[in-house]
Structure 1
Amino acid sequence: MDLGFLIKPKNLDESPKGAPKDDKAAVLPSSMAREEFEEYQRQLLEEKIERDKAFAQRKAERATVRMHLRDKYHLAQDERDDAQVHVAGGAVELPQDLAAMVHSEEEDDGSTGAFAFLAKLRQVELPALRDRAVGGVDQVREKCALM
């Protein structure tokens, strides 16, 4: 006779006995005391909060760089960047390397514009320029037999 038919099969429809397990609730390991486990959970939570703060700060710094570059090139501002800055706590200071990058691009942009060219053109002394050109032609005449 086969004994497999005599064993009562488990009822798969009924819920498991014991406390229901929540995804957020952590199970106490058998090797840790309750106080140790609570301290461990607290440390994990603090580390997560610190990581989240650092991540929000980096996102706000990137948003600030984007805002500066959009302002520099007269592009439309994005409200998501403003939201990122507000999430990080308002005023965000750029790291020195990013601030130097933004400011150096601003300086380069100002020196290549049409107004900068006109300002430099006003500083040119025309009589000195004419004398230099005539002196160059005289040097060429002395060296060249055909002229």
Structure 2
Amino acid sequence: MAFMVKHMVGGQLKNLTGGLADEKPEGEKTEAAAQGMTQEEFEQYQQQLVEEKMERDANFAKKKAERATVRTHFRDKYKLPKSELDETQIQQAGDDIELPTELAKMIAEDNEEEQHKQSVIGQLSNIQNVDLDQLKDKAQATLEDLKTSAEKCSMM
């Protein structure tokens, strides 16, 4: 009830003053004045915000392209289907995006391990109860025996 009375009387009271108090409405203030700056300072501030945003966007695009490069590398390594999204992210970055150095080192180590595992010695090391050192010693001893027996052979 009090609201209704205040609304009805307040509106009539404002009409009675007849514009004697020249108050500037809030909507007419400029944004610069609202933030306590001059127009030039406000424009410089806006320009700085735009530049910072562009820099953040460029860094973000570069990070996205780096991640896409990593995903592309693993897709190639494990023979998975390629992704169009990754290729577009790499193209949008523009610069040649390379793998981070730590990741490149890890990948090189993995490749070396895989090559070792694919070799004959790597396959033998997977078999349980096989002593590689003993096998190497036996192989070397056999080769030496063959050399000595070849030297003793009168036919040669």
- Matching residue of 1:28: 32
Gaps of 5+ in 1: 10-15, 20-25, 132-147
TM-score (norm 1): 0.61
Contact 1:68 1:102 in 2 (8 A): no
Task: Compute the RMSD of aligned alpha carbons.
Answer: 3.6
Shift of 1:98: 2.1
Shift of 1:94: 2.3
Closer, same or farther in 2 for the Cα pair 1:83/1:99, shift >3 Å? same
Give deviations 1:26-56, integer Å, cap 9, x for gaps: 9224421111111111111111111111111
Q: 5 Å matches for 1:79-94?
A: 79-94=84-99
- Work out whether 1:56 is the aligned partner of 2:68: no
- Matching residue of 2:129: none
Decide which structure has greater helix share. 2
Task: From 22, 38, 43, give the equivalent of 2:43.
Answer: 38
The runs of 4+ residues in structure 1 deviating greater than 6 Å are 118-121
Using CA pairs under 8 Å that are at least 6 residues apart, name the structure with larger relative contact order, 1 or 2.
1
Contact 1:69 1:102 in 2 (8 A): no
State the identity as a percent. 40
- Matching residue of 1:117: 120
Gaps of 5+ in 2: 13-24, 125-135, 144-156
Counterpart Cα distance in 2 of 1:109 and 1:66: 19
Q: Which amino acid aligns with 2:140?
A: A
SS in 1 for 2:94: coil
Q: How many equivalent pairs are there?
A: 115
